[in-house]
Amino acid sequence: MAELEHNYNEDSIRSLEPREHIRLRPGMYIGKLGDGSSADDGIYILVKEVIDNSIDEHVMGFGKTIEIKISDHKVQVRDYGRGIPLGKVIDCVSKINTGGKYDSKAFQKSVGLNGVGTKAVNALSSHFRIQSVRDGKMKAAEFERGVLIEDFEVQDSSQRNGTLTVFSPDDTIFKNYQFNPDYLENQIWNYVYLNAGLTINFNGKKYYSENGLLDLLRNKADEESIRYPIIHLKGEDIELALTHGNDYGEEYYSFVNGQYTTMGGTHLAAFREAVVKTVRDFYKKDYDAADIRGSIIGAISLRVQEPVFESQTKTKLGSIEMGPDGPAVRAFINDFVREHLDNYLHKNPETADALRKRIEQSERERKDMAGVKKLANQRAKKANLHNRKLRDCRLHFNEDKHEKSVLSTLFITEGDSASGSITKSRNVDIEAVFSLRGKPLNCYGMKKKVVYENEEFNLLQHALNIEEGLENLRYNRVVIATDADVDGMHIRLLLLTFFLQFFPDLVRNGHVFILETPLFRVRNKKETIYCYNESEKQEAIQKLGKKPEITRFKGLGEISPDEFGKFIGDNIKLKPVILHKDTTIQKMLSYYMGKNTPDRQQFIIENLKIEKDIVEEVYA
C-alpha cells in the first residue's frame, strides 16, 4: 500500500483528448461492444446514432426519404434534409459538444442532445466519410479512427441537399462482428412506425407506415388471437396503441423522441399505471393490476423537450419533466390516458365488453393457480436451488444494468458432464449454469399451472426470477447449451416451447440464445482448429495438411473444461432466438409441437431428402 501511495504523483494524472477517451472507454458512449449477436450490441448503436440525425431532420420538416445501405462491414446513410452547414462539417463529427441540437429552435424534440453520437461513430470506425450538400455546394471529409485524413475543398454540386455518412466499424474494437439483418430490419421498421409518412429505402427494400403505432401492433399481434380491435389514440406529443391477446405476460414497445427505449422508464411506468387506473374507474371495480395488464400488447411514443436518459445509449427514460416549464411526464400521460381511453371505451361498448371478459378470465386463472403457486414456491426453497441445480454467478442483470452485468449469462445444460465442464471453465463473475435432469416436458397447449407443478420448470423460473415478469430478470442472456445431436435438438425445442408458451417476453426482448459449440477439432503438432460445420472442417484439413488428427465431438460432455473456456469466453458464438415480424407464437408452436399435421409431415419428408443429399455429397 505504501509503495502504491508513493508512486501516485503528477505523472499519474493523464488528460485524454475526446477521441482517445471514446476509443479507450467505448462502453461509456455506446454500451457494450459485442459481435452483433445481440440487438443492443455497439455496432447497432453506431447505426442508430447516424440514422437519428437523419430522422431529426425529417421531424423538423426536411426530407421525406432516407436511403440506407448496409453490407457486411460498411454502413451508408443518405438523407435529404438541410445538410450540415458547410463550414461546420468537420467540427460536427469530430468535436464533442458541437452540433445544432443545442439550439432548441432548430431541433425542438430531438433524441440526440448531447453532441456525442456521431463523434463516437467517427472515433470507433476504421473509416468514416461525411458529406454535406447545401444549395449547390458540397463539402466532404474523411477520417480514420477519428483522425482527419482528408479535408476536401468546397465544390459545386448538382445533388439534392442533405447529408451522406459512410463508415465501417473498427474491427479492432468490435471483434469478429457481423450485422444481423433481422435486428437491422427491426430498427428500420421502428423508425417508420414512429414517423408516419417517412420512406426508408433499406438495401433495396422500401419501408413505410401510414398509421404509426397502429401499424406496429398490427404487425406484432396475431389478428386471429387479439380479443378486441386495436385501440389507437393520438394527441400532441403522444401516441399510443393497445389491445389484449392470448399469450402470457405483458408486451410493450416504448419510444421517446423516436428512440426505442428497450428498458422502458418513466413514460412506460406511467402508461402501465394509467391503463390500470382508467380501467378500474371505467368499470367501477378494483381489479388486480396483474389481471388488467395480463396478455396486454401496448405501444407508446412520446415527444419531449430535453429528455434525460439514464445512459448514452438512451434505452431508458429517466426524465421527470417534459421541459423547464412543462408538466411531469407521469401526470401528462395519466391525464391523456384517463381522458382518451375512457372516452374510447364509452364510445365502443363491444370493445369495452371484450376487455372486461379478458380481465375476468385472467382473474379466474390467477385464483385457480394460487394454491399450486404457493406450494411450488415452498418446494423451490426446500430444493436448495442454488446448490443442487444452479451454479450462480456474482453479478446479475437486475442489480446493475449499465455495467458488466449486461453480460450476465445463464447456461442451461443437459447432464452432469456438460454442466461440470462449463462450470469449471466459466467466468464466475458473470456466468451461471443451470443443470437439467432429463428431457423437459412438452408443455405446448398447457395452462401456466404446469410451470409450478413440474419441478424442472418451477426451479428454472425461480433461477431466472421471472415469475412476475422480466423486471427482476437475473441474467441478461439465457443460453440453451445442448448437444448438437437429435436428443440435444429435441431438448432445445422443448425449452424454447416452454419460454414461448409461458414467458414469450423473454424471447421478444432478445434474451434467449443458442450456444454454438464446435462439432470437430482438427489439429497437428503446431496448431489446433475448432470447426462448427463440415465445410469448416474441410478448410482446416486443407490448411493443416498431412493427415491431421480429427476429433468429432458427440456431446458437450466430451469437451474438456480447458477447451470449453475458449468457447464461452471472448470468442463465444451465440445464435439469437428471434421472432420475425410475421411470426405468431401460437401458430408456430402448433406447427412444430402440436399434432402431426400433413403440412409438418411434408416438411419433414422434404428436409430429410435435402439432408440425405448433403450427406451423400460430403462423403462421396
Q: Give tens-digit pLDDT for 444-487.
A: 888 888 888 888 898 899 899 998 888 889 999 999 998 877 88
User: Which segments of 489-596 are extended strands (E)?
Assistant: 512-515, 520-523, 528-531, 549-552, 574-576
Domain assignment present for residue 329? The answer is yes
Domain assignment present for residue 407? The answer is yes
Report if pTM > 0.75: yes
What CATH number does residue 45 fall under? 3.30.565.10
- For position 15, what pLDDT does the model report? 52
Asked if 92 and 181 sit in the same domain, the reply is yes
Asked if 347 and 399 sit in the same domain, the reply is no
Asked if 246 and 346 sit in the same domain, the reply is yes
Q: Amino acid letter at 100?
A: G
pLDDT over threshold 70, residue 38: yes
- For position 106, what pLDDT does the model report? 37
| Top-ranked range on mean pLDDT: pick from 4-8, 274-278, 300-304 | 274-278
**DSSP conformation class of 12:** G
Asked if 197 and 59 sit in the same domain, the reply is yes
Domain assignment present for residue 368? The answer is no
Residues 548-575 pLDDT 10s: 999 988 778 778 888 888 888 777 888 9
pLDDT over threshold 90, residue 81: yes
Average pLDDT of every residue of the chain: 84
Domain assignment present for residue 596? The answer is no
Rounded Cα–Cα distance for residues 501 and 491 (Å): 15
- For position 14, what pLDDT does the model report? 53
Q: Amino acid letter at 162?
A: G
Domain assignment present for residue 370? The answer is no
Question: Which residues 6+ apart lie within 8 Å of 97 measured at CB?
Answer: 114, 115, 116
Asked if 306 and 393 sit in the same domain, the reply is no
pLDDT over threshold 60, residue 609: no
Domain assignment present for residue 469? The answer is yes
614 against 350, higher pLDDT: 350
Asked if 452 and 472 sit in the same domain, the reply is yes
Contact 142, 127 (CB under 8 A): yes
- The alpha-carbon radius of gyration of the chain (Å, integer) is 27
Stretch 249-254: mean pLDDT: 90
Asked if 97 and 204 sit in the same domain, the reply is yes
Rounded Cα–Cα distance for residues 614 and 620 (Å): 10
Asked if 125 and 195 sit in the same domain, the reply is yes
Instruction: Identify the weakest region by mean pLDDT among 161-175, 491-505, 587-601.
Output: 587-601
Domain assignment present for residue 601? The answer is no
Domain boundary among 208, 228, 260: 208
User: Cell match 459512410: residue?
Assistant: 166
pLDDT over threshold 90, residue 596: no
Q: How many domains does the chain have?
A: 4
Asked if 68 and 179 sit in the same domain, the reply is yes
Domain boundaries, position 341: 213-358
Would you place residue 76 in the very low, low, confident or very high pLDDT band (cuts 50, 70, 90)?
very high
Domain assignment present for residue 35? The answer is yes
Contact 177, 263 (CB under 8 A): no
Rounded Cα–Cα distance for residues 411 and 582 (Å): 29
Backbone angles phi, psi at 336, to 5 degrees: -65, -50
- For position 374, what pLDDT does the model report? 80
Asked if 125 and 30 sit in the same domain, the reply is yes
Asked if 175 and 162 sit in the same domain, the reply is yes
Stretch 354-381: mean pLDDT: 86
Asked if 270 and 325 sit in the same domain, the reply is yes
